[in-house]
Amino acid sequence: MTTQANAVEQIFDCAVVGAGVSGLNCSMNLRFENKTTILADTGQHPGGQAGSSSLIRNMPGFPGGISGPDLTVLMTRHAAEFGTTFRAPFYAGRLERADDHFVLIEMNGQTIRAKTVVIATGVQPRTLPDATKAGQFIGFGVTYGFPSLNQSRWHDTEAVVMGSGNSGAQAVQFLAGCNGCNVTMLVRRDTIRDSMSARVADEIEKPRSNVKLLYNTELVEAIGEVGKLTHLKVKTPSGEQLIKTDHLFVNIGGDPPTRWLDKDLVPVNNAGYILTDRDLPEGVWADKSRPAFMCEASPGIFACGDVRFGNFRKRASMSAVDGANAAASVVQYLALK
């Protein structure tokens, strides 16, 4: 992968913001069409969310599943081998339209210039309210996201997983497979089937001696000593309870990091997801005489993956496909320009 120290003067065909699976697949496909492509990422989580997944089971071509780190390393290599220019860390803080191109501006003033831009910034984990005091134990028993993938780290632990989406389920499955680890899953509603894929829910509900599901249960407070989580106070239908635990893994969904975008340039909905295609408000199109492209938010600006409203099932496989769709649209757009 080419790492550019200074790309200020070059105007790329496309700048892709976010190197998760959608941005990686988008870049690889753009390079497949010989479009000059720069892929920028904060660099905090290589491969985005998928990079922390223990096993992705619905990726085409991997019938036995593939670990998130393995998948994202392969995808990064693929994009690199096709000639993607990679810029990280680059924290996009502003997007502006120049005469015939766009300028991405980082907090420290560094810029990237491109004829088209694809926003693939995914979602960032949602945090617990201050009242729960969970914030005091981050790094001391409370983790946002997935446990580290070193299984021996979790031997003989009492773990709690909060959140009943697919990522929470995956954390439960991973921890349940570690020697002597007991896992309790806190489920806010009376079912896991609204928020989890059906096949995953089937597996989670199979009775196991070291997995417990607590339905209609909410976290009230994280309790412990200095630097150590010891208990969680939870509210259940039969009253408040204390759960003894060393580790709480919080997977309660995410929010799209789109506040940095000018909403006149990139329309978003109330939750911050980028609107594209048929979801765009009336009158957004600058030129109604040309076809509307898939994933297009406004002329020359595209969005793909979890950050795009319309990509409803937030999954690695679907986000990767969305990235390929965005690439196809960029190629068509450039051809008509």
Ligand X SMILES: Cc1cc2nc3c(=O)[nH]c(=O)nc-3n(C[C@H](O)[C@H](O)[C@H](O)COP(=O)(O)OP(=O)(O)OC[C@H]3O[C@@H](n4cnc5c(N)ncnc54)[C@H](O)[C@@H]3O)c2cc1C
Nearest 10 degrees: CA dihedral of 288, 293, 296, 300?
Answer: -70
Nearest to 256, CA basis, from 296, 306, 294: 306
CA distances in angstroms from 11 to 17, 39, 98, 154, listed in the order given:
15, 13, 11, 48
Q: For residue 30, state whether it binds ligand X (rule: CB under 6 A).
A: no
CA distances in angstroms from 242 to 53, 168, 184, 219, 236, listed in the order given:
29, 21, 12, 10, 10
Q: Give the nearer residue to ligand X in terms of CB position, either 136 or 197.
A: 197
Q: For residue 48, state whether it binds ligand X (rule: CB under 6 A).
A: yes
Q: Contact with ligand X (CB under 6 A): which of 27, 29, 37, 53?
A: 53
Q: Give the nearer residue to ligand X in terms of CB position, either 40 or 211.
A: 40
Which are the contacts of 152, defined by CB distance < 8 A and separation ≥ 6? 178
Residue closest to ligand X, measured at CB: 122
x/- binding map, residues 201-240, to ligand X, per CB under 6 A? ----------------------------------------
* Residues within window 68-87 making contact with ligand X, judged by CB under 6 A: none
Q: For residue 332, state whether it binds ligand X (rule: CB under 6 A).
A: no
**Tokens, residue 234:** 């939870």
Q: For residue 295, state whether it binds ligand X (rule: CB under 6 A).
A: no
Q: How many residues bind ligand X (CB under 6 A)?
A: 41
Q: Contact with ligand X (CB under 6 A): which of 38, 56, 114, 185?
A: 56
* CB of 69 vs ligand X, minimal distance in Å: 11
x/- binding map, residues 254-293, to ligand X, per CB under 6 A? ---x--x---------------------------------
Q: For residue 162, state whether it binds ligand X (rule: CB under 6 A).
A: no
Q: For residue 184, state whether it binds ligand X (rule: CB under 6 A).
A: no
What does the DSSP assignment read for 124-171? EE----GGG-GGGGBTTTEEESPPPS-GGGGTT-EEEEE--SHHHHHH
Kindly state the helix (H) or strand (E) to which residue 73 belongs, with its residue range.
Answer: helix 68-81
Nearest 10 degrees: CA dihedral of 200, 202, 204, 208?
Answer: -150
Q: Which residues bind ligand X (CB under 6 A)?
A: 17-23, 40-42, 44-45, 48-50, 52-53, 56-58, 90-92, 120-123, 145-146, 166-167, 170, 257, 260, 305-306, 314-317, 319
